[in-house]
Amino acid sequence: MMNKTLSALPVGYQSFHENEAFNFQLNRFYSFGVFDKDELKGIGKRIDGFETWISLFKELGEEAEKKGEALKAATCYRAAQFYTLSGEKDEKGRDLKHVLYEKCVKHYNEYYSRFEEIRYIQIPYEDYKIPVYYALNEDPRGTILIHGGYDSIAQEFLLVVKVFNEAGYNVYFFEGPGQGEVLMHYDVRMTEKWEDCTAAVLDHFRLDDVTLIGVSLGGYLAPRAAAFEKRISRVVMFDLIYDFYGSILNKMGDKARLFDYLVSHPKNILWWSIKKKLNKNYFTNWLLKQGYAIYEGVSTPWEYFDHIKKFNTREISKLITQDVLVLAGESDLYTVYYEDQLRALVNAKSVTGRLFTKEDQADHHCQVGNMGLVFKTILDWIGEKTDGEKSGTDGR
């Protein structure tokens, strides 16, 4: 079956900026087909720091809005919102991160409203509502449930809903605690107990025998849900998050042992100078403030790093009894635990792993650079596990 959306996605991880973080984000916009290569090269040349990133994408969002380019406007406002520091105010004294969030969601919804197959609902749950975007088929091949990760918003991934729906599946994408609307509208922070909100979605739609896909930090959240919720028959780690804290430590090299010691000793005098250095650097200041906004009861660097220790599949992998697909990119920091994750799934019905390489143009986090290939990989695996056939979709 020809999947028009999938086959139209560009291929290649480009060099748009010398800064690794900026370059990854710019490649996300390219890989999802929002900007072309020349546009992003021009944008990359104009960015000399985080403040420039924010002001430039706000400007580009306004330009796209005037031209009626809803998807581009949404992406630009999301780009600006992403690197805005939590707690920063606009000229009217409003929370800038919230203002930009509302703008980007407005334009995402405007763009995707043209696709009648994509619907939206809010599920009442506890003291908030779980937002769900979904698309159905008259004679579905199966059911796919998807969610994002650490600081994701659902609207960024509605392309995925479209791709998987075109492949013949009923598809549901939801946000849980700490994500998108749940965080911005209800201030409900992220919990590692992802099985609870997942069960609420399964209950509402009366779903069973589903494939659950967790994107980014969802590579921990989804297997966590699968460990305790057996209406999930297949789980995809897109990508794996075997040990969130350990992956960050591993990147510190020789300083890792000292840092690990300090996280366990928050009253150590060294934290005073470390905190000062972290606050001076925009990226680390942004990273920590994101964490303070997303996690409950976290307001210091040592609390942040201690808290993320909870996000590891080392302790729950043995409880997973479903079919599992483990995805990883060879250049991603989390991939250091790729083999450990495969070995830890001792009770899984089956374990399939794929390590994407530079030759695949998909070696970065969540295979940015070749989304067509990773979507095809997932669809082929689901097809084999459900009806013994590959999806037959086009991908490069």
- pLDDT digits 0-9 by tens, 173-210: 999 999 999 999 999 999 999 999 999 999 999 999 99
Q: How far apart are CA 20 and CA 24, in angstroms?
A: 6
Q: How far apart are CA 354 and CA 333, in angstroms?
A: 16
| 250 and 234 within one domain | no
**Looking at residue 347, what is its pLDDT?**
98
Q: How far apart are CA 344 and CA 320, in angstroms?
A: 10
pLDDT over threshold 70, residue 3 = no
pLDDT band at 132 (very low <50, low <70, confident <90, very high): very high
189: domain CATH number is 3.40.50.1820
Q: How far apart are CA 121 and CA 354, in angstroms?
A: 34
Q: Is residue 1 part of a domain?
A: no
**Looking at residue 387, what is its pLDDT?**
81
Name residues whose C-beta falls within 8 Å of residue 66's C-beta, 6 or more positions apart in sequence. Answer: none
Domain termination residue (choose one: 261, 276, 309): 309
Least confident of 89-93, 112-116, 174-178, 237-241: 89-93
- pLDDT digits 0-9 by tens, 325-343: 999 999 999 999 999 999 9
Query: pLDDT averaged over the chain?
Result: 94
H helix or E strand, kind and range, residue 379: helix 371-387
pLDDT band at 91 (very low <50, low <70, confident <90, very high): confident
Asked if 202 and 44 touch (Cβ cutoff 8 Å), the reply is: no
Q: Is residue 8 part of a domain?
A: no
- Report CA torsion sign: 5, 11, 16, 18: positive
| 225 and 287 within one domain | no
How many Å separate Cα 263 from the centre of its chain? Answer: 26
Q: How far apart are CA 161 and CA 145, in angstroms?
A: 9
Question: What is the maximum alpha-carbon separation in the chain?
Answer: 63
- pLDDT digits 0-9 by tens, 345-376: 999 999 999 999 999 999 999 999 999 999 99
| 198 and 51 within one domain | no
Q: Is residue 195 part of a domain?
A: yes
Count of domains in the chain?
3
3-state class (DSSP) for residue 144: strand
**Looking at residue 26, what is its pLDDT?**
97
Percent of the chain with pLDDT over 70: 97
Asked if 369 and 31 touch (Cβ cutoff 8 Å), the reply is: yes
**Looking at residue 390, what is its pLDDT?**
59
pLDDT over threshold 70, residue 394 = no
| 182 and 45 within one domain | no
Percent of the chain with pLDDT over 90: 90
Local structure of residue 189 (DSSP, 8 states)? P
Asked if 75 and 34 touch (Cβ cutoff 8 Å), the reply is: yes
| 185 and 81 within one domain | no
- pLDDT digits 0-9 by tens, 22-77: 999 999 999 999 999 999 999 999 999 999 999 999 999 999 999 999 999 999 99
pLDDT over threshold 90, residue 381 = yes
Preceding peptide of 95 cis, ω within 30°: no
Domain termination residue (choose one: 279, 309, 339): 309
Q: Which residue is it, tokens 């380019």?
A: 69
Q: Which domain holds residue 21?
A: 16-111
| 375 and 336 within one domain | yes
Q: Which residue is it, tokens 């930090």?
A: 217
Q: Which residue is it, tokens 């779980």?
A: 130
Q: How far apart are CA 306 and CA 277, in angstroms?
A: 19
pLDDT over threshold 60, residue 291 = yes
Q: Is residue 395 part of a domain?
A: no
Q: How far apart are CA 379 and CA 171, in angstroms?
A: 12
pLDDT band at 151 (very low <50, low <70, confident <90, very high): confident
Long-range contacts of 42-47 (CB under 8 A, 24+ apart): 43/16, 44/16, 44/17, 47/17, 47/19, 47/22
Question: How many angstroms separate the Cα of 383 from the Cα of each of 142, 235, 327, 352, 386?
Answer: 9, 13, 17, 13, 5
DSSP secondary structure letters along 198-252 = HHHHHHHHT--SEEEEEETTHHHHHHHHHHH-TTEEEEEEES--SBHHHHHHHHT
**Looking at residue 136, what is its pLDDT?**
97
Amino acid, single-letter form, for residue 11: V
Structure tokens at 270: 């060294």
Asked if 52 and 29 touch (Cβ cutoff 8 Å), the reply is: no
Query: What is the 3-state composition of the chain as percent helix, strand, coil, each rounded to the nearest 5?
Result: 50, 15, 35
3-state class (DSSP) for residue 254: helix
pLDDT band at 393 (very low <50, low <70, confident <90, very high): very low
| 297 and 273 within one domain | yes
Q: Is residue 392 part of a domain?
A: no
- pLDDT digits 0-9 by tens, 71-88: 999 999 999 999 999 888
Q: Which residue is it, tokens 């924010």?
A: 54
Q: Say if strands 143-147 and 119-125 run parallel, antiparallel, or are unpaired.
A: unpaired
Q: How far apart are CA 184 and CA 155, in angstroms?
A: 14
| 319 and 302 within one domain | no
Q: Is residue 3 part of a domain?
A: no
| 185 and 286 within one domain | no
| 178 and 37 within one domain | no
Least confident of 24-33, 131-140, 243-252, 385-394: 385-394
Closest alpha carbon to 202 in 229, 181, 170, 168:
229
pLDDT band at 4 (very low <50, low <70, confident <90, very high): low
